[in-house]
Amino acid sequence: MASAPSVPDTTIKATSNPIFTHKYTADPAALVYKDKVYLYAGHDEAPAKREGYVMHEWLVFSSPDMVTWTEHQSPLKAKDFAWAKGEAWASHVIERDGKFYWYSTVEHAAIRGKAIGVAVSDSPLGPFKDARGTALITNDMTTETKINWNDIDPAVFIDDNGQAYLFWGNTTLHYAKLKKNMTELDGPINTIKLPHFTEAPWVHKRKDWYYLSYAYQFPEKTAYAMSKNIEGPWEYKGILNELAGNSNTNHQAIIDFKGKSYFIYHNGGIQPEGGSFRRSVCIDYLDYNKDGTMKRVAMTSEGVKPAK
């Protein structure tokens, strides 16, 4: 692996998949804001051959065209949440009224298990700071499974009427309304049942359809469901992406940018040391059928062309 560029603000041309080869990147979440895409990723730092995640911080990259990326200074670390022990697992950043909210999975220091925190900033590039001083979701708030990593992988969606929702989970998929301040739940925690749900929910809307994509089975493929209502019922629609090479997890973000749709995911494609704990973000096009269903993603080595 090439040595890491010095950040902040190093420019990278991503002319093939994986898009970054100077460091391992996982669990992509993407935000389109004004005329740029902001790509947030976990940083896989496990040494070669080590089995198990080593993840201390998240990374942020921005691009005007999906190919030329600027890497910025890491804007958030797991330990920026004073109540967290560490472990910067999957996250999601969303904008509301000019503020940027970063929902993050971390290991709680005092309450057994994973938890979800929220950090806030005036800029998509940070600096971000803990918005609550406490976790938004802790393991003791959900009791369907005995595992302690079921409260992970936040995905936030703001519906057309302004109501925000937090989706999250491993093994069991949950959602709850968020207050307008984006930092408190606004009602009960609900459960959604989908075939072979593992983790990594992502919600998006196109025309009058809501889409809920997620990591399916283990090793993970990506599957999805559709609904006419954000609160369901959700109808399972099948596999969206096959196993991504050399990684037992997958984790997708879906965006539209400059007239095209994109599927952003990770694989273990950097050789010789890439794998399930040294993952790499990739981008391919996403296409829809006339009835609104999504075509299965064609993962490519070439990746995407500059968006105009």
d(CA 113, CA 147): 8
Q: Which residues pair with 202 in a beta bridge?
A: 213
Question: At its nearest, how many Å lie between ligand FUB and the CB of residue 270?
Answer: 16
d(CA 260, CA 222): 20
List interacting residues with ligand FUB (CB under 6 A).
26-27, 42, 53, 89-90, 105, 152-153, 199-200, 249, 251
Q: Which lies closer to ligand FUB via its Cβ, residue 217 or residue 295?
A: 217
Question: At its nearest, how many Å lie between ligand FUB and the CB of residue 114?
Answer: 8
Q: Which lies closer to ligand FUB via its Cβ, residue 195 or residue 292?
A: 195
Q: Which lies closer to ligand FUB via its Cβ, residue 42 or residue 126?
A: 42
Q: Which lies closer to ligand FUB via its Cβ, residue 251 or residue 278?
A: 251
Cβ-in-10-Å burial (0-12, 13-18, 19+) of 267 comes to: buried
Structure token digits, residue 219: 């090793």
d(CA 185, CA 179): 6
- The H or E element spanning position 227 is strand 221-227
Q: Which lies closer to ligand FUB via its Cβ, residue 152 or residue 164?
A: 152
Question: At its nearest, how many Å lie between ligand FUB and the CB of residue 215?
Answer: 6
Question: At its nearest, how many Å lie between ligand FUB and the CB of residue 155?
Answer: 10
Give the alpha-carbon dihedral of 42, 46, 47, 52, to 10 degrees.
Answer: -150
Give the alpha-carbon dihedral of 115, 94, 157, 286, to 10 degrees.
Answer: -110
